[in-house]
Chain A
Amino acid sequence: MDLARDLLDKLVVDRHGREIGRADAVLLDIRASAPPRVTAIEIGPAILASRVAPILGRWMRGLEYALGIAEGRPLRIPFDDIMDMRDRVKVDRAAGETVAAALEHRLRKWIAVLPGSS
């Protein structure tokens, strides 16, 4: 498997095909005596921003704290929970129940009061 081509930055969907986010980071278990092993993927703007520049990651983390959505982020999904990764990375989760949806839930509450939002 080519991690950069087949996993990193790919769209991650839940078991029903709903968007969770993108594979913003891939976690590896590196041991001297064995080949590296993929253990999990991570999803979240702070981890994504830190790939561009570490300081951006810290700023994004600060923003998550300020918005009160930092708990449990970034979302970490063990590699064993990946169901399929041919076109999109399908994981054994429900999008609405993950911390990746915290901002979506917050905004949805605001938006729901506006006419025409549903």
Chain B
Amino acid sequence: MSAIVDLVLGVITSIGGFVEAGSISTSAQAGSEYGFQLLWAILVAGLMLAMFTEMAGRVAAVSRRSLIAAVRERFGIRFQAVPLTAELLIDILLLAAEIGGLAIAIRLLTGVSFLWWILPVGLAVWLVLWLCGFNVIEYGVGLLGLVTLSFVAAAWTLGPDAGDLARGFVPSVAHHDRARYAFLTVSILGATVSPYLLNFYSSGTIEEKLTEKRLWINTTTAYLGIAFGSVVSMGVLITAAMVLQPRHIVVDSYEQAALMFVPVFERWAIPIFAAALGIGCFGAAVEITLNAGYAFSQALGWSWGANKPRREAARFAFAFSLVLLAALAVAMTGMDPLRLTMISVALTVVIMPAVVLPFLVLMNDDTLVKTHTSGPIGNGILAGITILAGLLALIVVPLEILGG
């Protein structure tokens, strides 16, 4: 019975925690500029995320090591230092973008400049992390995040044509501005397969004491939760495509993205959009901050865990507090959160090869995953994704210049 409860809660929190600044901005831009044409990119990115999440959880459940710990032990610090440092720096940018996204959401409700809300938002994130254990953080944020299902409700109400939707799942060439189309495709990938998510998930597997015997929960949660979560991202794209594209509204700010709800929710459009954006960003901000504590502690062998009293894991608590402060400093510069999101997402794609490459080794190391190594098909797909990630890393910066 408890396994079923764990599974249901895991899937629900995956849905509620899926959409945040990166996925809302990339999906809204894709929908408003290319209609349903980039639905396939969300599908592919979701499949990739599910695959990596499942593997990260499998390593953690079987070896009792998080992803970062496993990479340090298997590859050594000289391999890990550069990508891990880059990942932490990108996480600071992404965290600043999430904090900014939540501050913008509050501005939509109050009319007060978003800069006034940066510090209170940072304090709220820190208080949640300081006072709550892992389950409260994960399930609380995930359940609140179900408000993002409003994107699915909006898309459903608008009643898109099934044939048009189906055509969106077939990769196609853009009719205009192909560099922009390619940039948005790569950005959707970067926004979805965030490195912090993978380590957060593997750390959560250890926090929740999931064992090798219950690996099926990990597999089901990863694939089912992310499949439903991807539907929420698709809801953003479909709503933007049906409302914003015909009116030639391009999403270059969250305020314009909010207009996608007007035909469906009318006078409640802005409050509902603000709630979905704000809670999505808040959940991601909490997870990114917590993961920063995990990353430092696991790489350096410190005591860690959201369920431990903070004074018993003082370096862990200090590390996540420090990263939050750094992100607040970035957010306080007043840089547009949407722009910051798109930069973080592009940089994520640059480091993606170093994130996915270790899986090829870890998933074939029987000292780590025992009998649960990847088969030839899994390895083939993984190798293909690694090569693709390498190619995307090479082209993402030129694409950002040409089409960003």
Residues on A with beta carbons closer than 8 Å to the beta carbon of B216: none
Q: A22-B72, A107-B318 are in contact. Are A116 and B77 (CB under 8 A)?
A: no
**B309 A118 Cβ-Cβ under 8 A:** yes
**A104 B315 Cβ-Cβ under 8 A:** yes
The answer to whether the Cβ of A37 comes within 8 Å of any Cβ in the partner chain is no
Complex: chain A residue closest to B130, CB-CB:
A116
A interface secondary structure, majority: mixed
Q: How many residues of A contact B (CB 8 A)?
A: 28
Distance in angstroms from B138 CB to nearest chain A CB is: 19
Interface bits B117-131 vs A (CB < 8 Å: 1, else 0)? 000000000000011
- Kindly identify which residue among B81, B301, B309, B315 contacts A103, using a CB–CB cutoff of 8 Å: B315
Q: A9-B77, A19-B301 are in contact. Are A112 and B311 (CB under 8 A)?
A: yes
**B303 A111 Cβ-Cβ under 8 A:** no
**A11 B69 Cβ-Cβ under 8 A:** yes
Residues on B with beta carbons closer than 8 Å to the beta carbon of A24: 77
- Kindly identify which residue among B76, B311, B318 contacts A9, using a CB–CB cutoff of 8 Å: B76
**A12 B300 Cβ-Cβ under 8 A:** no
Complex: chain A residue closest to B303, CB-CB:
A19
Distance in angstroms from A103 CB to nearest chain B CB is: 6
**B315 A21 Cβ-Cβ under 8 A:** no
Complex: chain A residue closest to B75, CB-CB:
A9
Distance in angstroms from A66 CB to nearest chain B CB is: 16
Q: A52-B78, A111-B317 are in contact. Are A104 and B310 (CB under 8 A)?
A: no
Q: A62 vs B317: C-alpha distance in the bound complex, in angstroms?
A: 23
Q: A7 vs B131: C-alpha distance in the bound complex, in angstroms?
A: 36
The answer to whether the Cβ of A46 comes within 8 Å of any Cβ in the partner chain is no
Within 8 A of A (CB), among B296-329: 299-303, 309-312, 314-315, 317-318
Give the residue among B78, B81, B301 with the most A Cβ atoms within 10 A: B301
Q: A82 vs B275: C-alpha distance in the bound complex, in angstroms?
A: 54
The answer to whether the Cβ of A58 comes within 8 Å of any Cβ in the partner chain is no
**A21 B301 Cβ-Cβ under 8 A:** yes
Complex: chain B residue closest to A53, CB-CB:
B81
**B310 A116 Cβ-Cβ under 8 A:** yes
Q: Classify chain B: how many residues form its interface, as a range.
A: 20 to 34
The answer to whether the Cβ of A33 comes within 8 Å of any Cβ in the partner chain is no
Within 8 A of B (CB), among A1-36: 4, 8-12, 18-22, 24
Complex: chain A residue closest to B302, CB-CB:
A19
The answer to whether the Cβ of A70 comes within 8 Å of any Cβ in the partner chain is no
**B309 A48 Cβ-Cβ under 8 A:** no
**B77 A48 Cβ-Cβ under 8 A:** yes
Q: A9-B72, A11-B69, A117-B311 are in contact. Are A104 and B77 (CB under 8 A)?
A: no
**A111 B314 Cβ-Cβ under 8 A:** yes
Q: A103 vs B315: C-alpha distance in the bound complex, in angstroms?
A: 7
Residues on A with beta carbons closer than 8 Å to the beta carbon of B131: 116
The answer to whether the Cβ of B208 comes within 8 Å of any Cβ in the partner chain is no
The answer to whether the Cβ of B164 comes within 8 Å of any Cβ in the partner chain is no
Q: A41 vs B131: C-alpha distance in the bound complex, in angstroms?
A: 37
The answer to whether the Cβ of B73 comes within 8 Å of any Cβ in the partner chain is yes
Q: A9-B73, A10-B73, A104-B314 are in contact. Are A51 and B301 (CB under 8 A)?
A: no
Q: A37 vs B327: C-alpha distance in the bound complex, in angstroms?
A: 46
The answer to whether the Cβ of A74 comes within 8 Å of any Cβ in the partner chain is no
Complex: chain B residue closest to A52, CB-CB:
B81
Residues on A with beta carbons closer than 8 Å to the beta carbon of B69: 11
Distance in angstroms from A115 CB to nearest chain B CB is: 9
- Kindly identify which residue among A9, A107, A114 contacts B315, using a CB–CB cutoff of 8 Å: A107
Residues on A with beta carbons closer than 8 Å to the beta carbon of B76: 4, 8-9
**B300 A45 Cβ-Cβ under 8 A:** yes
Give the residue among A4, A10, A107 with the most B Cβ atoms within 10 A: A107
Beyond known contacts A45-B300, A52-B78, A117-B130: 5 more, CB 8 A cutoff:
A20-B301, A103-B315, A110-B314, A111-B314, A114-B130
| A-B contacts, 22 listed (Cβ < 8 Å) | A4-B76, A8-B76, A9-B76, A10-B73, A18-B303, A22-B72, A22-B301, A24-B77, A43-B301, A45-B300, A48-B77, A51-B77, A51-B78, A52-B78, A52-B81, A104-B303, A104-B315, A111-B318, A114-B310, A116-B130, A116-B310, A117-B309
> What is B's interface to A at a CB cutoff of 8 Å?
69, 72-73, 76-78, 81, 130-131, 299-303, 309-312, 314-315, 317-318
